[in-house]
Amino acid sequence: MLDLLIRNATLPDGREGIDIAVRDGRIAEIGRGVDAPARETLTLDGWLVTPPFVDPHFHLDSTLSAGRPRANRSGTLLEGIEIWGDLAPTLTAEDVKHRARELCHWSIARGCLAIRSHVDVTDDSLMAVDALLELRRELAPWIDLQLVAFPQSGFYRHRSAPDNVVRALDRGVDVVGGIPHFERTTEDGAASVKALCEIAAERGLLVDLHCDETDDPNSRHVETLARETERLGLQGRVVGSHLSSMHSMDNYYVSKLLPLLQEAALTAIANPLINIALQGRCDTYPKRRGMTRVKEMIAAGIPVALGHDCVMDPWYGLGSHDMLEVAHMAAHVGHMTGVDEMQALFAGVTTTAATALHLEGYGLEPGCHADLVVLQARDPVEAIRLRATRLHVLRRGAVIARTAPEEVSLDLGDTRRKVDFLGGRATTGG
Ligand code: FE2
């Protein structure tokens, strides 16, 4: 007896009329014409079923704090850093947990069931680390949280950061973080990359550095990150987040850099919402976009995932943690509106992101966790176009979030109709 049978789904690879059998929280069978008794059946109208969205780059400690202690009037990175500097010392564990929990609830509602969150380890008490470790345990039945020890004020620039990174990892933080472009000198930045990768290699951990999040084309720490990845045998375990400087680099240098990243099996994470908002602020016109070279990296065989980075915090006052909004922005900022390109962006907020996080049991194969999202769309491009409604969100085969289908009724004199925004499929009626 199955626990659940989902009927008539469309999959992201285009297969239609697919049934998904679920037993003991995992996918038992997936294909056409699955016929077995089930306790529950969910019959779809050919809607797109995808493994859940994954946010590979976020900051849970600062989320939903916008306006505290004051609003970011200029909207700039620098004013955001100033505000965070004033706010962080006043935070309590309860406050951090409350805001992060709320964000996770938004995330689940949007069908995102895994978040990698950087957590600032500048504060010697590691209060936010402990708060988010507790929240990770509390929410484990519903969402996977992965934490990155992030020395936000610099690994060498802030006196206690080297100790605090190690202490955070000792307490159970999963991933080694860093911010080489924020160190005092380029040399310190490169040394921090080396030291952080060595810590990860010794402990068998993953690495995810905020790397070159600047408009300065001479910020080239990703080169060192690729080198250290090779030297320490960390291929496939290292992420360079942001990589914004690549946008401004000389093309000849990029033609040398991309093969280095590919050789090191590095994954890039772009954060299109935040980088289009924060980069290029010192430019007049034309203004640079500031997002890393997503299209070119994908063409070079480098995995690229997409992160939300911030929702309503000192750096970014917008967002509702919708990973389709992230992919939608990436399509625009990266000139990636070709059909295959948009498919790749959909993968950037699902499968590629899951691979970067080394998530276990993720996917649509038999044996994978029955973690699924039913979208009010027929394919990934339509999902991005509409930022489609998440009709059902399933975790281990149980529906944990529902949203009513979007339906708009027009009343224009003699013309009354429903508009559902599914191109060519709008219905008419009296
Ligand atoms: Fe970030």
Give me the pLDDT at residue 428, please. Answer: 43
Give me the pLDDT at residue 424, please. Answer: 57
Q: How far apart are CA 16 and CA 8, in angstroms?
A: 7
pTM score over 0.95:
yes
Q: Is 281 exposed, middle or buried (0-12, 13-18, 19+ CB in 10 A)?
A: middle
Residue 405 CB-half CA count within 13 A: 15
Domain limits of the chain? Answer: 4-51+363-402, 53-356
Query: What percent of the chain has pLDDT above 90?
Result: 96
Give the contacts of 179 (CB within 8 A, at least 6 positions apart): 150, 151, 152, 154, 155, 192, 209, 210, 213
Q: Which of 79, 102, 183, 213 is catalytic?
A: 213
Q: Residue 14 Cα, ligand 1 centroid: separation in angstroms? A: 33
pLDDT bucket at 422, cuts 50 / 70 / 90? confident
Tell me 428's DSSP state.
Answer: B
Give me the pLDDT at residue 10, please. Answer: 98
Q: How far apart are CA 329 and CA 307, in angstroms?
A: 11
Using DSSP's 3-state secondary structure scheme, residue 5 falls into: strand
CATH architecture of 53-356: Alpha-Beta Barrel (3.20)
Residue range 199-209: average pLDDT? 98
Please provide the DSSP assignment of 44-84 as one string. Answer: -SS-EEEPPEEEEEE-TTTTT-TTSSS--SS--HHHHHHHH
The phi, psi pair for 164, rounded to 5°, reads -65, -35
The phi, psi pair for 227, rounded to 5°, reads -60, -45
Tell me which residues have their CB within 5 A of the ion that is ligand 1.
309
Q: Residue 241 Cα, ligand 1 centroid: separation in angstroms? A: 7
| Tens-place pLDDT, residues 377-391 | 999 999 999 999 999
Q: Residue 168 Cα, ligand 1 centroid: separation in angstroms? A: 18
Q: How far apart are CA 83 and CA 70, in angstroms?
A: 7
- Tokens 């339906």 map to which residue? 407
Is the dihedral angle over the CA atoms 355, 32, 143, 393 positive or is it negative? positive
| Tens-place pLDDT, residues 266-290 | 999 999 999 999 999 999 999 999 9
Pairing of strands 372-375, 390-395: antiparallel
Please provide the DSSP assignment of 291-325 as one string. Answer: ---HHHHHHTT--EEE--B-SSBTTB------HHH
- Catalytic annotation present for 213: yes
Q: How far apart are CA 237 and CA 31, in angstroms?
A: 32
Neighbours of 172 (CB within 10 A): 12
Q: Do domains 4-51+363-402 and 53-356 have the same CATH topology?
A: no
Give me the pLDDT at residue 423, please. Answer: 72
**Which class in CATH covers the domain with range 4-51+363-402?**
mainly beta
Q: Residue 150 Cα, ligand 1 centroid: separation in angstroms? A: 9
Is residue 169 within 8 A of residue 203, CB to CB? The reply is yes
Alpha-carbon dihedral of residues 382, 387, 389, 393, nearest 10 degrees? Answer: 100
